[in-house]
Amino acid sequence: MAELPTVYTEPGSKPIPRVRLDDAPYGLALQRFIGLCTDAMIVGFDFSLDKLVAFLAKRKAKPMSSWWMIGGGRMPGETPSQSIVRCFKSETGLTVDEERFGYLCRNSYIWKDRQQQPQDVGCHMEADTFVVVLTHDEMAAIRLDKNEYVDGGLKAFTLSDVNKLVCEGANGVAGQTHQPLLDVFLRCRKQFIDKDSNPLLPHCVECGQLFESNRPYAYSCDSCTDRILDEQRDHGIPG
């Protein structure tokens, strides 16, 4: 796993009181400061498909009112790990120990819109991004926050499904909107599919067939990899 950012706490510091801002002052704050969030991608292996899948939820609120990971804003005084535990519980109802969240990276997002007026001003967010694997019982117990997500719960996405989101984009417009999901999914595969220890390999995570490849970090066969790259090029997205 990637190394978590170090949090330095000055001796004598006290807990910072937390406040909830109304939309107007929060909107102004977004025009002055970069928002800090924590997200987690839920991954698992779908044996009916014989593929690695990511479980995504469809957001209601802006920004990114589409398929996305589970997460929320980080509060003052929290470490990234503490934040994702709190946000994950708030969004799904599940309490998951912080040791089960694997740290992947910090992503920076410049969104075209936001929930606060004026919505077309947009916002700049950074998110410490994690990966987590849940048990069958935990998956069944998830209850998504109805204020944040559309009804229907989590949906399983294969690599090809996520790539299709990238190619189609949000509202039918191809572009960078879902590219972070693909990048994070690829990081998840690199973390969790270890050719030296994982018995699922050397199976292609796309078609399930045994394969050999000279490509570094190859977790799909050459045929599936070429097809995915061709789809991206056809939609003007660099591979």
CB 208 within 8 A of CB 51: yes
Select from 3.30.70.1400, 1.10.540.10, 3.40.50.720, 3.90.79.10 the CATH code of 33-234. 3.90.79.10
pLDDT band at 234; cut points 50, 70, 90: confident
pLDDT tens sequence across 87-107 = 999 999 999 999 999 999 999
pLDDT tens sequence across 197-214 = 444 444 565 666 666 655
pLDDT tens sequence across 19-66 = 999 999 999 999 999 999 999 999 987 756 667 889 999 999 899 888
pTM above 0.85?
A: no
